[in-house]
């Protein structure tokens, strides 16, 4: 594996393009996902200002207009959320006075548009790009990932939905232990080369920083010591429906509103993500409740105390949630560079029909996926995919059962079983 600091990021071409078109580009994502490294890589003679540096932060807070004035463009302001409202307002005024493209690249470890202290959203002046931790495609140096093959299949009419070429891909050689290694490793650049024990220590320090500085600094949360406990509880529920009452009952955070607020802080710092429920007029019994996923399976495994050996020894049912979260995260990470306009959701209805992941194109076509930790795929595993296919007809593009067996299989019309490693090796 190549040293993580030198790995190319698939979003880099989109970032360079955005800097050539928009006055302000906002690159947001979790702490330690590689935003600073990528920003320095494309700086090209501009100015780099990190608000993590103790000497610079007071200058940005005391005189934000002077802090950014006269700098060589583009001006990169790293961890811009630490500068607060006044710095964002100064940047807005600067780009209103000079409308040149590529003036500012702002990076931050929070969801800007939901943070109260960054209420000035730069609407109409900025474009927002998300940088997640490494995808497996980036770590492995693959030419392409599965999502690119699905949304822009090579050598075929784009309207075709058979995806039969995937059945001709070579079998996967990955073992259960090798899948567990990738799941427990996660994608954070600083952690991908570490041993299980060192990675556990790294994630412990990472969570401490995210909680004691990022969240407390931005929100003033008074019970910050409870946040790691909440994160651990969400890790234990990853890939499950988010039932706030259950979470609140188990944690006893006072009011249920406090539990909801603290969960929103974990989302704000990109530690936790929600997968909304999908509904259409054809599916009248659909539930809207979201699923919850830890945003990196390495973080989830560390919070649960799982090593790759321990994970690989669990039965398929015990491994299932982390396998599902791994697949969802991987496809979302690939989407940021391949097709950021895709909509990700899940399906569940009052009759117990469930589909782990639905990827909806802007034109309404759907790719439906089930994720299995087992090494055998059967037509019965695709029963709800087949139901969805019959329900929505031509809008159903393809259904996939991702499993840990070696061979691609046809399970039904427009429904295939693929090895989980095809996410990055196809």
Asked which of 130, 164, 189 is the last residue of a domain, the reply is 130
Tell me, yes or no, whether 146 and 125 share the same domain: no
pLDDT for the residue numbered 115: 53
Tell me, yes or no, whether 125 and 246 share the same domain: no
For residue 284, pLDDT beyond 60:
no
Asked which of 82, 100, 130 is the last residue of a domain, the reply is 130
| pLDDT (tens digit per residue) in 342-394 | 999 999 998 999 999 999 999 999 999 999 999 999 999 999 999 999 999 99
How many Å is the Cα radius of gyration of the chain?
Answer: 22
Tell me, yes or no, whether 397 and 305 share the same domain: yes
| Strand pairing category for 396-403 and 366-371 | parallel
| pLDDT (tens digit per residue) in 108-133 | 987 765 454 454 568 788 999 999 99
pLDDT for the residue numbered 392: 96
pLDDT for the residue numbered 117: 45
CATH code (residue 42): 3.40.50.300
Tell me, yes or no, whether 108 and 172 share the same domain: no
Tell me, yes or no, whether 174 and 231 share the same domain: yes
Helix 176-185 crosses helix 196-209 at what angle (to 10 degrees)?
30
Asked which of 102, 130, 158 is the last residue of a domain, the reply is 130
Tell me, yes or no, whether 286 and 368 share the same domain: yes
pLDDT for the residue numbered 84: 85
Rounded to the nearest angstrom, the gap between the alpha carbon of residue 181 and the centroid of all alpha carbons in its chain is: 19
Q: Are 74 and 104 in contact (CB under 8 A)?
A: yes
Tell me, yes or no, whether 284 and 398 share the same domain: yes
For residue 234, pLDDT beyond 70:
yes
CA distance readout (Å), 190 to 16, 33, 37, 319, 358? 24, 9, 11, 25, 31
**Alpha-carbon dihedral 249, 300, 398, 421, rounded to 10 degrees:** -160
Neighbours of 94 (CB within 10 A): 19
Residue with tokens 């991987």: 330
Tell me, yes or no, whether 123 and 235 share the same domain: no
3-state secondary structure of 423: helix
Q: Are 23 and 124 in contact (CB under 8 A)?
A: no
Alpha carbons 269 and 266: distance in angstroms, whole number = 5
**This prediction's pTM:** 0.93
SS3 sequence, 282-341? CCCCECCCCEEEECCHHHHHHHHCCCHHHHHHCCHHHHHHHHHHHHHHHHHHHHHHHCCC
Tell me, yes or no, whether 97 and 220 share the same domain: no
Give the DSSP per-residue string, 70-115: TPPSSEEEETGGGGHHHHHHHHHHHHHH---TT-EEEEESS-GGG-
Give the pLDDT band (50/70/90) at residue 4: low
pLDDT for the residue numbered 158: 47
Percent of the chain with pLDDT over 90: 75
Q: Are 120 and 85 in contact (CB under 8 A)?
A: yes
Provide the residue range defining the domain that includes 79: 4-130
Give the DSSP per-residue string, 183-214: HHH-S-TTTTTS-HHHHHHHHHHHHHHIIIII
Alpha carbons 13 and 327: distance in angstroms, whole number = 24
Residue with tokens 């807070």: 61
For residue 103, pLDDT beyond 70:
yes
| pLDDT (tens digit per residue) in 129-166 | 999 999 999 999 988 899 999 998 655 554 454 588 99
Mean pLDDT of all residues belonging to the chain: 91
Check residue 50 and report its DSSP letter. E
pLDDT for the residue numbered 27: 94
Tell me, yes or no, whether 152 and 251 share the same domain: yes
Backbone angles phi, psi at 396, to 5 degrees: -80, 110
- Which of 11-15, 81-85, 204-208, 422-426 shows the lowest per-residue confidence on average (mean pLDDT)? 81-85
Rounded to the nearest angstrom, the gap between the alpha carbon of residue 356 and the centroid of all alpha carbons in its chain is: 16
3-state secondary structure of 253: coil
The domain total for the chain is 2
Tell me, yes or no, whether 270 and 390 share the same domain: yes
Tell me, yes or no, whether 120 and 250 share the same domain: no
CA atoms within 13 A on the CB side of 240: 14
For residue 408, pLDDT beyond 90:
yes
């Amino acid at each position: 594996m190549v040293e993580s600091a030198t790995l190319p990021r698939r979003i880099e071409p989109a970032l360079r393009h955005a800097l050539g078109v928009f006055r302000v580009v906002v690159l947001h994502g979790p702490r330690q996902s590689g935003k600073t490294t990528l920003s320095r890589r494309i700086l090209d003679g501009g100015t780099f200002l990190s608000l993590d540096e103790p000497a610079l932060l007071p200058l940005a807070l005391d005189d934000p207009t002077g802090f950014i004035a006269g700098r060589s463009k583009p001006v990169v302001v790293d961890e811009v959320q630490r500068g607060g409202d006044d710095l964002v307002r100064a940047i807005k005024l600067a780009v209103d006075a000079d409308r040149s493209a590529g003036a500012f690249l702002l990076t931050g470890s929070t969801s800007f548009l939901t943070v109260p202290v960054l209420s000035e959203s730069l609407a109409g002046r900025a474009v927002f790009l998300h940088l997640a931790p490494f995808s497996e495609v980036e770590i492995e140096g693959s030419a392409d990932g599965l999502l690119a093959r699905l949304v822009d299949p090579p050598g075929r009419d784009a309207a075709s939905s058979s995806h039969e070429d995937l059945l001709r891909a070579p079998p996967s050689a990955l073992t259960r232990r090798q899948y567990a290694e990738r799941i427990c490793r996660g994608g954070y650049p600083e952690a991908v080369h570490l041993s299980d024990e060192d990675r556990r220590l790294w994630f412990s320090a990472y969570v401490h920083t995210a909680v004691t500085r990022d969240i407390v600094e931005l929100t003033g949360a008074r019970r910050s010591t409870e946040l790691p406990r909440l994160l651990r509880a969400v890790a234990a529920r990853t890939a499950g429906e988010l039932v706030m009452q259950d979470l609140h009952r188990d944690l006893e955070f006072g009011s249920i509103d406090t539990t909801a607020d603290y969960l929103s802080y974990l989302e704000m710092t990109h530690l936790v993500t929600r997968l909304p429920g999908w509904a259409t007029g054809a599916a009248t019994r659909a539930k809207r409740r979201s699923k919850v996923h830890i945003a990196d399976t390495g973080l989830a495994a560390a919070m649960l105390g799982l090593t790759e050996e321990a994970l690989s020894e669990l039965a398929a049912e015990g491994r299932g949630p982390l396998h599902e979260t791994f697949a969802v995260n991987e496809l979302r990470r690939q989407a940021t560079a391949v097709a950021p306009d895709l909509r990700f959701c899940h399906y569940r209805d009052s009759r117990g029909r469930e589909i782990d992941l639905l990827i909806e194109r802007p034109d309404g076509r759907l790719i439906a996926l089930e994720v299995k930790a087992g090494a055998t795929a059967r037509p019965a595993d695709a029963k709800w995919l087949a139901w969805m296919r019959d329900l929505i007809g031509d809008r159903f593009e393809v259904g996939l059962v991702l499993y840990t067996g070696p061979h691609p299989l046809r399970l039904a019309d427009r429904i295939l079983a693929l090895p989980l490693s095809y996410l990055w090796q196809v």
